[in-house]
Amino acid sequence: MSGNKIKAFLNNAATKALPTSSHQHSKQKQTASLEKIARETIGTAYLEEDPSVAEWFRGLVPSSSGVAEYVQELFPSARWVRRYNIHWLVGDAIAGITVGLVVVPQAMAYALLARLTPAFGLYTTFTGACLYWVFGTSKDIVIGTTAVGSLLVGSVISKIEADHPGVYKPEDIAHVLSFLAGAVLFVLGILRLGWLIEFIPYVPISAFVTSASITIISTQLPTVLGIPGINTRESPYMVYVNTLKELPNARLDAAIGITSIMLLWLIRDVCAKMEFRQPNRKRMWSLVSSLRLTFTILLYTFISWLVHRKAPVGQERFRIVGHIEKGFSHAGIPPMDGELFGLVASELPAIIIILIVEHIAIAKSFGRIFNYTIIPSQEMIAQGAANILSPFVGGYVCTGSFGASAVLSKAAVRTPLAGLFSALVLILALYALTAVFYYIPNAALAGLIIHCTVNLITPPRSLYKYWQLSPFELFIWVCGVVIAFFTNLETAIYVTIGLSFAILLIRMAKSPGKFTGSVGVTRIVRNSRVQEVVTSCSSSDKTVATQREGTTAAHASESRQVYLPYDTSDAHNPDIKVEPAYPGVFIYRFSENFNYINQASHIDYLSSYIMKNTRRTLVDDGIRASDRLWCDAPPPAKLGDEKSALPVLRAVVLDFSTINNIDITSVQGLLDLRNTLDRFAAPAVVEWHFAGVQNRWTRRALAFAGFGFPAISSVDELADWCPAYTVATGLVGATEEELRDVETLQLQMRGKNAINRGTEPKHNIQLHTATEKVDVLQPIYGIDRPLFHIDLHDAVDAAVRDAKKQAERDTAASHSSNGWSGSRGEP
């Protein structure tokens, strides 16, 4: 073939990359021919309809039923509140009051972490208890103050006060932070963007919680030991170092703090052992364990009252909480200062991430335990509404509390309405117990915080699990904890999330595809122990082993072909020999999605591997040395023995079963690869088969790029092309006689169509009559894209059939031209 013909062929092949209006008529003619062939073969045809942009936009317009369902989902309480009954009321009242007794000391202690007075913790927990039941989807969640959330609020307050000393009150900063965080969460929930939290992996959150626990303990140690003058806003390692240096200056507070921690641990351990020894009283011991916080605070408050009831103000033996204003004395409209909004906004991302992830994780864990479904978007609305309202009653940031939620769950709560009973306990505390709160020792509250926080540290067994599951993620965890220990929590959370995303992108960019080959397999089924050889129920099963009395007989099903990677580094047995499905047919399986991140890696690997394992169809491609690109190596002057043994390139089969969407960059990569391989295989044209392409938009994009159609230079060549169709039938329920009739008529129809091309087969009526009792054959996918196959087996089968026929044609053409042609790839 001359150089001009080669160039003309390549130009024609290149035009497939960008179909234009001039090819529209040819495409229509091709579709008509494919439809005719399908009707002649299976008696019917189905043309695939591409999705349109207008259709996509119409799908975004909500229907009236969709709007009604959306409104109903905004208020999940409306579905169950009408069925509320006295039994639910009793269970909720008991559980709510129990939790209220637990969260009162906890809320007061956590408020100190936020650099606020204890009353602000009660305001915050009251808001969540009152509001969650309206929007929430979990019966076990308690929204209120948490150690981590309070610590973050305290960090923001310290940072703003350091930059703008004396300008803003701590409570004003906390109120603005809560309002902005709530507004963001509420909007995300209204827009149903709860799926965004799935972008935050588990390991960074685990590292953050552990780091926060270590940080919280560092801030409370000086209080527990009564050591003054320690700057707890420094990095945790500095706080620990300074605390150790000042141990000789510890005061009487240490006796209160250390003994309170020991008492809390003692009660918990004793109750746990009694639950094991007395399982019939497990619920009682669990309730006692839950109330250990309240008992400990009341005990040390009583001791403090005995010590200080006659002591003048300012001469206390150890530090106490002091005066607490009665009621909601800080309720009101929070300050709407634009400058303060700007200062707080920069601190929002880390706080919002932790608030929502912590809340959803707790809600989902209880949902799995008690078999109900959590709606993340709805939880965002509940949490957002609580944080928006919180500053109006004097509170700050609130989220789901694991400790309080565990108590609520163990107390046999029935519905989310239990929060209202907890709110009543908080109101009682604010209006009737403020005089009692005056004597609470600060060291006891600090001991309570340490006791609750230590349990949040990731235990060694979990770290071992991380090592077994993903060693590099354990490295991320260690990085997060170390960074937080020597710097701060915000830096740690950003670094760990960044590392997690980096790993994700690297895995996507370097996800290795696999070239696969064919292996014949069968299944050996072990029968039960019998005296005689067991006869299988299936006519296709064959007994492969006959055993003596008392042993096992086994049978094998019919063999089939599967496709395994040539690379033996995966899980399959390396002793199994994987053979090519056919010389020159390459099967490639994508391990993950195929997108702009990893397309270059896949395309380079495909190109290099295929060219390495095939040879050119022609020794001389007809391109002059002066016209050849500097990077395009010339073909060898003569094929050596090693190269001659390689096959010519026939077809490429791509397994798209792991791929949903495809982007422009990926399609362009496939187009470039197709053009490269067409030049390499010229004058032959490489067939491209796709398996498992399900997404309509992906099928549309590939078809527009020219994929999915047989490799022909003109529509007239379709007359000699023999496609295979995967059809759906109801022949499973037909009798043997009906099956024979259908098969006979189909064979007759194909024979007559081979003689009478172009005429409509009249015996289709006979075929339909014979199949009245069974379903008519229907193609699964559109016959106008015959090289998009339902699965890999069909794709390889079609590619091998076409490759064999092309090889036969090449052989015939070679023999007709003096029996051998040195310019062709095969004899």
Residue-wise pLDDT tens digits, 799-811:
999 899 888 887 8
Q: Are residues 345 and 376 in the same domain?
A: yes
User: Closest Cα partner for 806 from 621, 609, 651?
Assistant: 651
Q: Are residues 645 and 793 in the same domain?
A: yes
- For the segment 275-296, the average pLDDT, to the nearest whole number, is 89
Question: Is the pLDDT confidence value at 10 over 60?
Answer: no
Residue 565 lies in a domain: no
Contact status, residue 332 vs residue 452, Cβ threshold 8 Å: no
Region of poorest pLDDT, from 353-357, 396-400, 676-680, 710-714: 710-714
pLDDT band at 741 (very low <50, low <70, confident <90, very high): low
Residue 713 lies in a domain: yes
Q: Are residues 287 and 183 in the same domain?
A: yes
Q: Which of 475, 508, 541 is the last residue of a domain?
A: 508
Question: Is the pLDDT confidence value at 768 over 50?
Answer: no
Residue 65 lies in a domain: no
Write down the pLDDT at residue 311.
84
Q: Determine how many CB atoms are found less than 10 A away from the CB of residue 2.
A: 8
Write down the pLDDT at residue 422.
93
Question: Is the pLDDT confidence value at 532 over 60?
Answer: no
Question: Is the pLDDT confidence value at 39 over 60?
Answer: yes
- For the segment 250-261, the average pLDDT, to the nearest whole number, is 93
Q: Are residues 719 and 762 in the same domain?
A: no
Q: Are residues 249 and 276 in the same domain?
A: yes
Q: Which residue has the higher pLDDT, 86 or 10?
A: 86
Distance CA 359, CA 212 (A): 16
Distance CA 336, CA 357 (A): 28
Write down the pLDDT at residue 748.
59
Contact status, residue 430 vs residue 160, Cβ threshold 8 Å: no
Phi, psi of 297 (to 5 degrees): -65, -45
Question: Is the pLDDT confidence value at 638 over 90?
Answer: no
Residue 582 lies in a domain: no
- For the segment 629-646, the average pLDDT, to the nearest whole number, is 66
Residue 546 lies in a domain: no
Residue-number span of the structural domain to which 737 is assigned: 730-776
Q: Which residue has the higher pLDDT, 1 or 323?
A: 323
Reported in sequence order, the residue ranges of 430-559 that DSSP labels E, i.e. its strands, are 514-521, 524-530, 542-545, 551-556
Distance CA 104, CA 96 (A): 12
Region of poorest pLDDT, from 143-147, 166-170, 625-629, 750-754: 750-754
Distance CA 439, CA 197 (A): 42
Name the average pLDDT for the chain. Answer: 83
Distance CA 45, CA 23 (A): 23
Q: Are residues 38 and 104 in the same domain?
A: no
pLDDT band at 234 (very low <50, low <70, confident <90, very high): confident
Q: Are residues 630 and 772 in the same domain?
A: no
Region of poorest pLDDT, from 287-301, 612-626, 740-754: 740-754
Share of the chain above pLDDT 70, in %: 83
Q: Are residues 154 and 222 in the same domain?
A: yes
Question: Is the pLDDT confidence value at 303 over 60?
Answer: yes
**For residue 618, what are its two tokens?**
């022609």
Q: Are residues 21 and 108 in the same domain?
A: no
Q: Are residues 298 and 354 in the same domain?
A: yes
pLDDT band at 539 (very low <50, low <70, confident <90, very high): very low
Question: Is the pLDDT confidence value at 551 over 80?
Answer: no
Q: Are residues 705 and 762 in the same domain?
A: no
pLDDT band at 744 (very low <50, low <70, confident <90, very high): low
pLDDT band at 473 (very low <50, low <70, confident <90, very high): very high
Write down the pLDDT at residue 652.
96
- For the segment 491-501, the average pLDDT, to the nearest whole number, is 91
Residue 639 lies in a domain: yes
Residue with tokens 């997060």: 480
> Kind and range of the H or E element at 796?
helix 792-816
Question: Is the pLDDT confidence value at 756 over 60?
Answer: no
- Give the chain's radius of gyration (CA, Å): 37
> Kind and range of the H or E element at 287?
helix 282-290
Distance CA 709, CA 706 (A): 7
pLDDT band at 411 (very low <50, low <70, confident <90, very high): confident
Q: Are residues 734 and 714 in the same domain?
A: no
Q: Over the stretch 207-227, which tens digit does the pLDDT of each residue have?
A: 988 998 899 899 899 999 999
Residue 520 lies in a domain: no
Q: Determine how many CB atoms are found less than 10 A away from the CB of residue 140.
A: 26
CA 363 to chain centre: 18
- For the segment 427-439, the average pLDDT, to the nearest whole number, is 90
Q: Which of 472, 493, 508 is the last residue of a domain?
A: 508
Write down the pLDDT at residue 736.
65
User: Closest Cα partner for 473 from 483, 488, 485, 463?
Assistant: 463
Residue 70 lies in a domain: no
- For the segment 20-33, the average pLDDT, to the nearest whole number, is 69
SS3 percent helix, strand, coil of the chain, rounded to 5, is 60, 5, 35
Distance CA 474, CA 543 (A): 51
Q: Which of 476, 508, 540 is the last residue of a domain?
A: 508
Write down the pLDDT at residue 554.
59
Domain count, the chain: 3
**For residue 65, what are its two tokens?**
């039923």
